[in-house]
Amino acid sequence: MVNSPAGSADFDQSSDLLASDPLEELCSRLLRIATERDIDAGATAPELHTARLLDQLPDSIAVKDRRSRYVFANAAVIRNVGISRPALVGKTDFDLLDEDVASGFFAIEQEVMSTGQAVTGMEEAVRLRDGRILWMTTSRMPLHDQDGQIVGVIRISQDITERKRQEKLRHGHARLLEMIARGQPLGSVLHALVHLIEEELDGIMASVMFLDEDERHLSSAASPSLPPAFVKLTEGLEIGPFHGSCGTAAWRRSPVIACDILSDPLWEPFREFAIMFELGSCWSTPIMGPEGRVLGTIGLYSAGPRTPTKLETELMAMATDIAGIAIERARNEDRIQHMAHHDPLTGLPNRALFWAQFNHALVQARREARKVVVVYIDLDNFKPVNDTLGHAAGDEVLKVLASRIAGSIRASDIVVRLGGDEFAIVFSNPDHDEEAILRRLGDIRNVICRPITIEGESIVVTSSMGVAFFPRDGDNPEGLLAAADRAMYEAKQSGRDTLCLCA
């Protein structure tokens, strides 16, 4: 077994390498036809043809001796290692690659020469001196001399970096679509998308921004690698013709490429931010919905001035497509969930959501030993509104009153349209003073009876209210609502436009 090479320190000239070596004759010829100076000095026509043929091949071809030292390499190898052919001769992979990678290659080559068996079709990742990683499919075969003795190894490698990149993108694309199909949270999908972009593109910081409901401002959705202070400064970015790459892309509804932020007029209002956070370029593409609406933007930032490559442009297009699908899917699900749990006319919670929220309020009240107030509301003489002005006008009145009631309660309280012209309110954290509670209800009754103008007609609607208390009047949602309903009928019997407490 041959010992691990000591590197190229033993060899000052390529001729030293060949002295007393069984590869001497073959390597002398290979070196002669591979060195441009020697070719110019008078290579034979077959040698010149062989050299040109080997150099024109896209595959990397190298010949090594028994100690895995390079004795020949074609142009593809030279381009990858970044040194001249004469300088490469005598070196080993330990001089060119990370030690763990070089050790692996050395072990394989020694096994090939020891056993005489070729090793073919191995996929290998090679990190070059400039930091690039190349994926290769490599075959190694023993090299024999005229007597049949193994004197070295031939390595032939095909660059499959592009194929591996495409495979990785396809897998990433499929994984993101699966996350969307499985109903993963939108934030998780967008962060996974940003991670895929940044993993694929060296030196790129990616950002996804939403266009707010007002369709005038952008807010951050996923920007894990950008400086947090920069993300905070650009939160709520207004879209417009000179509002950086993202704000302008959303406004134009088309990609905006700022190759040099320091000289691009679109970045004039934000140039000091770019300088502060050392941002040199930003390319942004709008995320479009199926109906042509702008949903947000994807921005790719780099530290220095840069023009996007074909790969980067393709990846941006894929990313915006995925982001559009994810955002639209999430919004559709939100709309479906809202429709399933809210009254379609007023937008208030429906009975299903109301019961769930009511039960939760009672669980907390029991735990904290506090009361809950339930109010049943019935609009007085609402039927004549429908009869005289029509159901469309009646629906408009209901929407106005629902909005007024919802605007009169706290965020912790619950309001529901039970059906028709009936509503209910649950005060989950009411004032301890019963008089204060009654004053609040009086204010709500006053809000309800404010005039409403529909088709030039001024309409005044009053209300009758019934009030029940937990735990005094019941210990479950159904019992408490029934108690408040009975109290409301007492208010009706008392002449309407009033409220009654559960007896």
Q: Is the pLDDT of residue 135 over 50?
A: yes
Type of residue numbered 116: G
Identical fold at 14-159 and 351-501? no
Average pLDDT over residues 432-461: 90
Span 351-501 CATH architecture: 2-Layer Sandwich (3.30)
Largest CA distance in the chain: 121
Give the pLDDT score at 4: 47
- pLDDT band per the 50, 70, 90 thresholds, residue 14: very low
The two tokens of residue 80 are 């990858």
Q: What distance in Å separates the CA atoms of residue 261 and residue 278, rounded to the nearest whole number?
A: 10
Residue 462: exposure state from Cβ atoms within 10 A (0-12, 13-18, ≥19): middle
Taking residues 227-236, report their average pLDDT.
94
Q: What is the pLDDT of residue 399?
A: 95
Q: Which fold has domain 164-339?
A: Beta-Lactamase (3.30.450)
Predicted pLDDT of residue 296: 96
Residue at 230: amino acid letter: F
**Selected residue with higher pLDDT from 150 and 48:** 150
Range scoring the smallest mean pLDDT among 7-11, 71-75, 242-246: 7-11
Domain boundaries, the chain: 14-159, 164-339, 351-501
pLDDT at 417: 94
The whole-model pTM stands at 0.62
Determine contact, residues 105/136, Cβ cutoff 8 Å.
no
Q: Identify the burial level of 379 via C-beta atoms within 10 angstroms of its C-beta, where 0-12 means exposed, 13-18 middle and 19 or more buried.
A: buried
Angle at 44 between CA 79 and CA 30, to 5 degrees: 40
Phi/psi region, residue 355 (left: phi>0; alpha: psi -120 to 50; beta: rest), is alpha
Bigger pLDDT: 35 or 162? 162
Using 50, 70 and 90 to split pLDDT, how confident is the model at 336? confident
Instruction: Give me the mean pLDDT over the 69-95 stretch.
Output: 89
Is the pLDDT reported for residue 34 higher than 50?
no
Q: What is the pLDDT of residues 245-303, one digit of tens each?
A: 999 999 999 999 999 999 999 999 999 999 999 999 999 999 998 888 999 999 999 99
Q: What pLDDT, on the 0 to 100 scale, is given for residue 40?
A: 41
Q: Is 304 exposed, middle or buried (0-12, 13-18, 19+ CB in 10 A)?
A: exposed
Taking domain 14-159, whether its CATH number is 3.30.450.20 is answered by: yes
Alpha helices in 57-160 (DSSP H): 75-81, 85-88, 99-115
Residue 240 pLDDT level (bands cut at 50, 70, 90): very high
